[in-house]
A = this chain, B = another copy of it.
Amino acid sequence: METLHETCAWGTGKRWGEAHTETGMSRLTLSDADKEARDWFVETVEGLGCRVTVDAIGNVFAVRPGRSEGAATFAGSHLDTQPTGGRYDGILGIMAGVEMLRVLHENEIETEFPVGVVNWTNEEGARFPYSMMGSGVWAEALPLERAYSLRSVAGDNVTLKSELERIGYLGKVPASHRSVPMGAHFELHIEQGPILEAERRKIGVVQGVQAYKWFTIEVEGRDAHTGTTPLANRSDALLLASKLMVHGNRVATKHSALVSTGILTLSPGSTNTMPGSVRFSLDIRAPQNATVEEVEARLRQDFADLASGKDIGGLHEGGTLGKSEFSVSWRTDSETTATVFHEDCIRCVREAAADVLGAGSDGMVRDVVSGAGHDSVYASRVCPTTMIFVPCRDGVSHNPAEYTSPEDCAIGAEVLMHSVLKYDALRQS
């Protein structure tokens, strides 16, 4: 916990409580703060007897040799955060990995195969809009050149590649699992949801991850003067976008899915000009691929209908539709099908949790499905993978007040190390 809080000096965010450590984090990927955290990571793991490899997308792999040659069994997560994130999402997984290396090093424990810790680049997708990017490129799910060319959402004209160069993390090793193979990938993470806490569980054994798709929706209407344009003569792109977002929530409700918007920009942006152009992000998620597809198909049809003036759910009722000369276009930004984790890894986590929690562990452990995407989604495409969840207060995440107690962090870190050691033993056998 000391290490976690000390390293949160790089990119400290909004304060939410009185104590020294009660602030959030704002450590956007490849920022100066991210560079400092990465430099600390490299220096620390080298001090623990690891060899460090940086690949062409900036993923940092620390490997501690075993008795035999071979791909390492990895613990992995990410050091970058949301712009208003907390101290645990991603960070906890890296800190627990470093703690594992410390325990192995200080106790001179030999493993059969190498053991490693990986810090993946740009998991959050907050600054460069593609989440789980580093693991995605490594798994060959995302072409390197496409990742390189992504521009910062801040509109400051920097690309992912130029920022990698600037902070000194544009590595020479090809960004691929073929160059840096893994024996397995275990990720400790906060749940970011309310279930474990509500049921007073300590460990979630993650079975897989729900499917999701990210889109950018662009609504084009017509700029017009707010004072002189009668309601009947308007094609107000923001009013239509508002109806689309309300409708998205209704369709999500009906399908037991999640539909959310986190980014909205408009043009031109003046109090007395109705925006002719609005762009917003649309994030559709559900445990089943088929549900995501159904929601997408429903919304594509309904958005077009609402734009053309057809009423759905009374959204146009009571208001003035105006000229309703709109176009609505969809761009797919990112897509992940539902993920099923590896049974061997899952078994190792279950056994490790039983060992760590001792008698009565049954009531403290449960299987869960992850609501969020994680680097383990891409890792699982090329090597045995699973995740370990620990509870977080009120299920709050992507928020400065994100919090997991030191006790729960410690349990998670112990389960992570024992899972890795069990898997190493399994490989040996």
- Check A301 for interface membership: any CB of B closer than 8 A: no
- Check A174 for interface membership: any CB of B closer than 8 A: no
Whether B274 pairs with A260 at a CB distance below 8 angstroms is: yes
Least CB distance from A376 to B in Å reads: 14
Whether A231 pairs with B245 at a CB distance below 8 angstroms is: no
Whether A397 pairs with B228 at a CB distance below 8 angstroms is: yes
The CB with the most chain B CB atoms within 10 A, among A236, A239, A271, is that of A271
Whether B260 pairs with A226 at a CB distance below 8 angstroms is: yes
Given contacts A229-B193, A238-B264, A399-B224, contact A269 B153 (CB under 8 A): yes
Given contacts A249-B239, A319-B250, A319-B253, contact A272 B131 (CB under 8 A): yes
A194 contacts which chain B residues (CB < 8 A)? Answer: 230, 233
- Check A360 for interface membership: any CB of B closer than 8 A: no
A residues whose Cβ falls under 8 Å from a Cβ of B: 82-84, 124-126, 129, 131, 153, 191-194, 210, 212, 214, 222-231, 233, 236, 238-239, 241-243, 245-246, 249-250, 252-254, 258, 260-264, 266-276, 281, 283, 285, 313-315, 317-320, 333, 370-373, 395-399
A373 contacts which chain B residues (CB < 8 A)? Answer: 227
Cross-interface CB contact of A268 among B84, B223, B253, B273, cutoff 8 Å: B84
Cross-interface CB contact of A225 among B229, B233, B239, B397, cutoff 8 Å: B397
A245 contacts which chain B residues (CB < 8 A)? Answer: 238-239, 242
Q: A223-B398, A262-B270 are in contact. List 6 more A-B contacts (CB 8 A).
A: A210-B227, A227-B372, A233-B395, A242-B242, A242-B246, A253-B318
The 10 listed contacts between A and B (C-beta, < 8 Å) are A224-B398, A226-B283, A226-B285, A233-B395, A239-B245, A246-B319, A252-B320, A262-B271, A273-B398, A313-B314
Whether B258 pairs with A231 at a CB distance below 8 angstroms is: yes
A222 contacts which chain B residues (CB < 8 A)? Answer: 396, 399
A243 contacts which chain B residues (CB < 8 A)? Answer: 242, 246
The CB with the most chain B CB atoms within 10 A, among A212, A253, A270, A274, is that of A270
A68 to B250, CA, bound (A): 72
Whether B231 pairs with A252 at a CB distance below 8 angstroms is: yes
Least CB distance from A241 to B in Å reads: 8
The 8 A-B residue pairs with the shortest CB-CB distance, nearest first, are A228-B371, A227-B372, A226-B260, A242-B242, A192-B228, A193-B228, A249-B319, A84-B268
A125 to B273, CA, bound (A): 11
A399 contacts which chain B residues (CB < 8 A)? Answer: 222-224, 276
